[in-house]
Amino acid sequence: MALTYGPDADWVRNVVAARSCRVKCAGHWRTFSRVEVVEGADGPALLGPLLRVPLGLAGITTVLRLRP
């Protein structure tokens, strides 16, 4: 998940502090118990090319990695 507002956004800090979150996607809830902020070149590498290119042009290099 690209962090367009950066890793210091309140919701990001809350998710990291809780170490888990639930996300609703296409009408289904998914629970993630392993969350990690990934910065620098490693962050965009986690995204597909359709997101990586425009976010890179905008200078966004931080993502939130969510794993079950």
Question: How big, in percent rounded to 5, are the helix, strand and coil portions of the chain?
Answer: 30, 30, 35
Give me the pLDDT at residue 41, please: 87
Q: What is the pLDDT of residue 36?
A: 96
Q: What is the pLDDT of residues 19-59, one digit of tens each?
A: 999 999 999 999 999 999 999 989 988 998 899 999 989 99
Cβ-Cβ contacts under 8 Å for 40 (sequence gap 6 or more): 61
Token pair listed for 33? 């118990």
Across 5-30, average pLDDT: 96
- Which pLDDT tens digit goes with each residue over 58-68? 999 999 999 99
Where exactly are the structural domains of the chain?
A: 10-67
Overall average pLDDT of the 4-30 stretch = 96
**CA-to-CA distance for 3 and 64, rounded, in angstroms?**
7
pTM here is 0.84
